[in-house]
Amino acid sequence: MAFRSAAARAVARGSAVAAPRRVPVPGQNDALFVAPMRGYTSGGSSGEDGRANRLLSFVRSPTAALATEQGRGGALASRGARSFASSSDDASGSSGSGKGSGGKGKEGKGESKASDSKASEGGEGIEPPAASSSGGASASSTGGIMVGGGHPSSHPQVLALPLLRRPLMPGVVQIVKIRDQRLLAELEEMRNRGQAYVGAFVKKAEGDHAYNKASQSFDKVSQSLDKVSRSFDKATHAAAAAVADGEELEEEESSNGNWDPADDMHDIGTFAQVQQMIYERDLAGGSSMSSSAGSSSDADKDGGDASASGDVDDKGLCTVFLLGHRRLRKTHTVRSDPMVVRVEHLKDLPLPTAEENEGRDLQILKATGMEVIATIKDLLHVNPLSREALKSYAQKFNDFQDPARLADLGASMCTSDDYALQEILEHLDIRDRLGATLVLLKKEVELGKLQTEIGRRVEEKISADQRKYFLMEQLKSIKKELGMERDDKTALALRFTEKFAPFKDQAPAETVRVVEEELQKLSGLEPSSSEFNVTRNYLEWLTSIPWGHSSDERLDIEEAAKVLDADHYGLEDVKERILEFVAVGQLRGTTQGKIITMVGPPGTGKTSIGQSIARALDRKFFRFSVGGLSDVAEIKGHRRTYVGAMPGKLVQCLKSTGVSNPVVLIDEIDKLGRGYQGDPASALLELLDPEQNGTFLDHYLDVPVDLSKVLFVCTANVLDTIPGPLLDRMEVVRLSGYIAAEKVAIARTYLEKTTKERCGIGEGEAAITDQAMTALIEDYCREAGVRNLQKHLEKIYRKVALKLAKAKGPVATKAIGDARAKALAAGKAAAAKEAELKKLEVDNKESLIYEVTELEAKEAKEAQGMAELEAAGVALANSVVLITVDKADLVDYVGQPPFQTDRIYDLTPPGVVTGLAWTSMGGSTLYIECTAIVQGRGGGGGDGDEEEDGKDSKRGGGGGGGGLKTTGQLGDVMKESTAIAHTYARSFLARNFPGNAFFDETNLHIHVPAGATPKDGPSAGCTMITAMVSLATGKPVKPNLAMTGEVTLTGIVMPIGGVKEKTIAARRSGVTTILFPAGNKKDYEELSADIREGLEVHFVKTFDEVYQHALTWDASAFDTPPVTAVA
């Protein structure tokens, strides 16, 4: 540092931290301005105060103080001034200040001038005074801070201007806000002299710590001031001797610590020119910026003391425009407030020549510069604010070939942190500086792109409601300007009128009248009234129904058959009925609504066939379920007097589909409920009656609605729960269960393909063998439908997918998934375009929009094909070994089979007969077992009473035999069948075997296995009689024979139901011969050939025929003798 003694450093620190801020008056020769210190006054020069004043005089001007105190004449003063000036380069006062802070002002001033003149006469290296532009003040009036000329040697020390952020780059203009009035006064004085050059340095982040430390140590300095003043003589003699010898005093490491006011700023800064100063109050008041030169001159003329006259006039905040010129480095501090620092002007390192490294370094530098220019261009696209910096640079320099200036320009356009920019400022190697600038510019471009992306996302987040609101407000303003504005009520009425206009010609006259009345009523109501909203909602529904508007349907038998076959396998009865409907429509030229009810077990495709019917006819589809429905209002609507009233489901259907001839699927019609709100089944009578639904009356609309063109498709599992009057209005089509062959075909054609797609398994990656599929159907999925089969297939292929994913690895699996997702999205887009094209084909086929949409649909189809091809390629590239699921693997995939074979006996013993039963799962075989009870141990005689639980019944004729006991959880109807069978068996045995008294001497026990399953029905009559007769005669029933049929007391076999289900159950159990009642021959002949294949069927009218087929058979025709064999 340039301070030459501990006392001087202490005074400087004290004045900089604690003293009031004062500004030197122009013309006053102070090399180091020091404000009055705490505890000392400026009056008097005797005693301790005198010594303090002499100390201050020494600090301000050592040469003058030495001459005055020591009285050694001009020689000693001249020697001290010459040595001091040459060693410090005017740091402490090359033209020292002669104005003291105490004593008499004029005397001090004259004394100081006299001392300065003496020092100048004998000193070396002291610049002579030069005229300034502020009223004749010498150049030394600012302590030699700035002198004329632009060469670096002309500015060895500069006024330090601290920057809070962003270093100033050479060649760039930067705006700085300054409130320090002392600093502003100094800048104004320099501008008045035409030498407004400063050094701009960025403050360090930890700079405040130094100030705090200095503030804490000020008290200690003040306490030591008495000691310093008493040692004044010794200090002055020591300082004079040191100055005379030309030696630099080493800084003392005192307990107070060493502190440089410039330590909180970076060493490397920018030599800058003050271009303009604008005060905030001048902008507010409109006055011009005033200079401090005039007031300074007045104070000088009056002989006023700036140190004693008070603080500088506060002009407020000032905006200073700085233009950077070149880099400089501060070496030490000359003055603290305002701060003046000694600097070294820096030059860039020389550029590489063409001869160095064969010119490669020069080429790299040139390429880097070109890349910086290209990056700046990119930055201008993403950040338009950078245009101003580039424009200012082009106006001042217009030199984009200089790599040094280009690097500084690029750095100034970046918004990086101060540390990164300071690093670029400190780079003297142009190559390193240019490279660092390029990195920051690249980051700035990426930041700009991110900013653009964020802006775009934020813009997209503006909700549709807000956009709609803005547009509506603009529309209102436009309408208001054009005189088209109407009130909300008039606009609402106009909207309803325009909405009803397309249907008015085909609407019933009553409906037209009601709409007109309601519109007139709406115009007379206030919008705030409750009746207004009721009327508005009523008109909304009335005008939304497509009165008389029907969509064009496709009456093409071949096309309809193709669609039905593509969606479902089998179901020939339903398909034939739909084709009949299409044929009638072709012949008549129009179609009428029908009510078709499909009855069958779950999972047989009843609901899905409704959608296929709509596709086959090209009609709109609407589905609603009435399972558990107990409110009539769901069918016929609410009264408008209720709060929240709405029309029924059928009116909602017409509004949502927009046509009067949709396909309506009423699901689960056999599960209708009934509650206090009414009976929905009775409400459906009007809806499903072809003679009444042409004028269907909804409670809400209260006007007739034509539903005669609607095709109703109802589904049910059973018909028993459907009321008779409602069933009478339906056309019933029965859907029986699928046989194993049909299930295999359905699984291969539909279910397996769909399941593979859902599980993400491609073609050729996994397969189920035919044996495994057959075993899966027969042992796991024996029900009539295929829903459970689909669940098991999904379970298998999920496990296969897990194996494939583990084998392929996460990277390949993700690639395949992404490709298939892309193909799926392309397929959805193509389907949407096809639907849009189909809609335009009806309305605007000749328009340009249709042609554009057709082209877009074609492109979407091509894109779908490409995406699917790409997905197949990715899957093929990452394919692994084919996973095959065999019959033996089913246990690992789906567990143990829940169903074992229905066959209990390989060959039935006497008294055991195989029967056939219908179940909700499609049918099964049912064994009837009859055995004799040993006399005296089985409770042979009974009184005919039945136990309350119904599980055990006894019927007999005393202790001699003839009793009957039944078990197997039989229902009432089946118990009656056992009684009838017992009676007829006794008569049959007595008639055909007169000497056989088996029934008279023996009590019987009839059991039906699977006792936990309730059983009921009359069709087991002939089976029970056959079992009793077989036991009485000791003849077993013919192997692989099953029978079914109800028998009267006279032996006539009555027809039964469920022929298809029972036939399927017989085939599944390996039965080859079936006995059916003769009345069911027509039902059997309606079965498909694949169901009847391999079966020997006999149709019987009486039990005598049953006896001939079942019990009179030739045992020699069978390889195995008839023995009992329990499976």
Can you tell me the mean pLDDT for 87-103?
A: 35
Torsion from C-alpha of 1055, 1061, 1064, 1065, nearest 10 degrees = -90
Whole-Å CA distances, 538 to 634, 639, 645? 17, 11, 10
Lowest-confidence region among 654-658, 771-775, 902-906, 1031-1035: 902-906
Tell me: pLDDT of 862 over 60. yes
Residue 1104, pLDDT score: 92
936 or 517, greater pLDDT: 517
**CA-CA distance, 998 to 647, in Å (whole number)?**
72
Can you tell me the mean pLDDT for 1104-1111?
A: 91
Can you tell me the mean pLDDT for 1057-1083?
A: 87
With H, G, I as helix, E, B as strand and everything else as coil, classify residue 1052: strand
Residue 58, pLDDT score: 43
Amino acid at position 25, single letter = V
Which pLDDT band holds residue 1116 (cuts at 50, 70, 90)?
low
Which pLDDT band holds residue 844 (cuts at 50, 70, 90)?
low
Can you tell me the mean pLDDT for 160-186?
A: 87
Which pLDDT band holds residue 258 (cuts at 50, 70, 90)?
low
Most confident of 417-426, 462-471, 1039-1048: 1039-1048
Q: Which of 1041, 1050, 1027, 1056 is nearest to 1104 (CA)?
A: 1050
Residue 882, pLDDT score: 81
Question: Percent of the chain beyond pLDDT 90?
Answer: 10
Which pLDDT band holds residue 794 (cuts at 50, 70, 90)?
very high
Lowest-confidence region among 95-104, 585-594, 1086-1095: 95-104
**CA-CA distance, 360 to 368, in Å (whole number)?**
12
**CA-CA distance, 1065 to 922, in Å (whole number)?**
8
Which pLDDT band holds residue 912 (cuts at 50, 70, 90)?
very high
Most confident of 178-187, 851-860, 1073-1082: 1073-1082
Tell me: pLDDT of 1036 over 70. yes
State the catalytic residues. Answer: 1019, 1062
Provide the H-helix boundaries in 354-487. Answer: 360-382, 386-396, 403-412, 418-426, 430-460, 464-482
Can you tell me the mean pLDDT for 593-603?
A: 85
Mean pLDDT, the chain, whole residue set: 74
Which pLDDT band holds residue 578 (cuts at 50, 70, 90)?
confident
**CA-CA distance, 169 to 177, in Å (whole number)?**
17
Which pLDDT band holds residue 702 (cuts at 50, 70, 90)?
confident
Residue 395, pLDDT score: 64
Residue 402, pLDDT score: 81
Structural tokens at position 79: 């020697």
Residue 627, pLDDT score: 86
Residue 595, pLDDT score: 86
Q: What would the pLDDT profile of 611-641 be if each residue is shown by its tens digit?
A: 888 888 888 899 988 888 888 888 888 888 8
Residue 762, pLDDT score: 79
Structural tokens at position 746: 């359905």
**CA-CA distance, 1013 to 930, in Å (whole number)?**
19
Tell me: pLDDT of 748 over 80. yes
Tell me: pLDDT of 966 over 80. yes
Amino acid at position 150, single letter = G
Tell me: pLDDT of 605 over 70. yes
**CA-CA distance, 620 to 657, in Å (whole number)?**
6
Tell me: pLDDT of 524 over 70. yes
**Do 577 and 596 contact (CB within 8 A), yes or no?**
yes
Which pLDDT band holds residue 1098 (cuts at 50, 70, 90)?
very high
Q: Which of 748, 449, 770, 786 is nearest to 607 (CA)?
A: 786
Structural tokens at position 1016: 């009921």
Residue 153, pLDDT score: 66
Tell me: pLDDT of 1092 over 50. yes
Can you tell me the mean pLDDT for 945-961?
A: 44
Tell me: pLDDT of 279 over 60. yes
**CA-CA distance, 1003 to 635, in Å (whole number)?**
59
Residue 1073, pLDDT score: 92
Q: Which of 1008, 916, 1004 is nearest to 967 (CA)?
A: 1008
Tell me: pLDDT of 818 over 60. yes
Can you tell me the mean pLDDT for 1032-1054?
A: 91
Tell me: pLDDT of 113 over 60. no
Residue 903, pLDDT score: 66
∠ CA 297-300-301, rounded to 5°:
90
Lowest-confidence region among 72-81, 545-554, 556-565: 72-81
796 or 351, greater pLDDT: 796
Q: What would the pLDDT profile of 197-238 be if each residue is shown by its tens digit?
A: 899 999 887 544 444 444 444 444 444 544 544 444 454 444
Most confident of 89-98, 479-488, 679-688: 679-688
Which pLDDT band holds residue 396 (cuts at 50, 70, 90)?
low
Which pLDDT band holds residue 65 (cuts at 50, 70, 90)?
very low
**CA-CA distance, 1084 to 1097, in Å (whole number)?**
9
Eight-state DSSP code of residue 876 = H
Can you tell me the mean pLDDT for 383-402?
A: 70
**End-to-end Cα distance, the chain:** 114
628 or 843, greater pLDDT: 628
Can you tell me the mean pLDDT for 63-78?
A: 42
Name the pairing type of β-strands 173-178 and 318-336: antiparallel
